[in-house]
Chains A and B, each alone.
Chain A
Amino acid sequence: NAGVTQTPKFQVLKTGQSMTLQCAQDMNHEYMSWYRQDPGMGLRLIHYSVGAGITDQGEVPNGYNVSRSTTEDFPLRLLSAAPSQTSVYFCASRTTGTNQETQYFGPGTRLLVL
């Protein structure tokens, strides 16, 4: 049981380049989400999904796209990277049952946009 995995661990992009951050979980969790972590600001929700085929926007969705074709995978796409997207990105998952509110986080992807 690997939990939540993320790749890559670190990436450098030039402004305007595109890339996909990968996230996978093997716990059969329905709910998955992406957060970004910036200094002094805690974590902010980018997008989330309550199941395969269902996604929705979080607090800071601009510049990011997501899709959820399987229960296991929830990739985050940057179509045209900007320096403001330099951050650490965390993927998380949880079940959607009542009182099952603990979210499990991946190790993070550190992204630098030049």
Chain B
Amino acid sequence: GDSVTQMEGPVTLSEEAFLTINCTYTATGYPSLFWYVQYPGEGLQLLLKATKADDKGSNKGFEATYRKETTSFHLEKGSVQVSDSAVYFCALSDRTGRRALTFGSGTRLQVQP
């Protein structure tokens, strides 16, 4: 079945550092790919998405590119802020049947001032 693998956390960075959170996936067909963010005590919010190969999703300074050849969707940000501290989930959506989201295990990011 479909699966998503994320790098384990926590990831601890200083403010203004460069961020990369790795995400790779296994899926049949051509899924859509997502990054969701969960701030402490809250539900999940969509951060960005990409629906086909070579698409780049971007939002709030975060970017991720759908790489079909490496089955990856790594999240990047050039300069993190303390307010970016959260848990980040990579997910894919199958396009048949359930159309449910398959999530990675999440990566906690801690940004220190």
Please give, as numbers and ranges, the residues of chain B lying within 8 Å of A44 by CB-CB distance: 103
Main secondary structure of the interface of B (DSSP, over half): strand
Docked complex: A8-42 residues within 8 A CB-CB of B: 31, 33, 35, 40-42
Please give, as numbers and ranges, the residues of chain B lying within 8 Å of A56 by CB-CB distance: 98
Please give, as numbers and ranges, the residues of chain B lying within 8 Å of A31 by CB-CB distance: 99
- Interface residue count on the B side (C-beta < 8 Å): 21
A32 to B62, CA, bound (A): 28
Contact across chains for B49 and A43 when beta carbons are under 8 A apart: no
Contact across chains for A42 and B44 when beta carbons are under 8 A apart: no
A45 to B100, CA, bound (A): 7
Contact across chains for B99 and A101 when beta carbons are under 8 A apart: yes
Whether B42 sits at the interface, judged by CB under 8 Å, is yes
B32 contacts which of A35, A42, A101, A107 (Cβ < 8 Å)?
A101
Whether B24 sits at the interface, judged by CB under 8 Å, is no
Contact across chains for A42 and B43 when beta carbons are under 8 A apart: no
Contact across chains for A42 and B104 when beta carbons are under 8 A apart: yes
B105 contacts which of A41, A48, A90, A92 (Cβ < 8 Å)?
A41
What 6 additional pairs, Cβ within 8 angstroms, besides A43-B89, A101-B32, A105-B45?
Answer: A35-B101, A35-B103, A43-B103, A92-B44, A101-B99, A102-B49
Q: Which residues of chain B have a CB within 8 Å of any CB of chain A?
A: 4, 32, 34, 36, 42-46, 49, 51, 89, 93, 98-101, 103-106
Can you list 17 A-B contacts (CB < 8 A)?
A35-B101, A35-B103, A40-B106, A42-B89, A42-B103, A42-B106, A43-B89, A45-B100, A48-B100, A92-B101, A96-B99, A101-B32, A101-B49, A101-B93, A103-B93, A105-B36, A105-B44
Q: Which residues of chain A have a CB within 8 Å of any CB of chain B?
A: 4, 31, 33, 35, 40-45, 48, 56, 58, 90, 92, 96, 99, 101-108
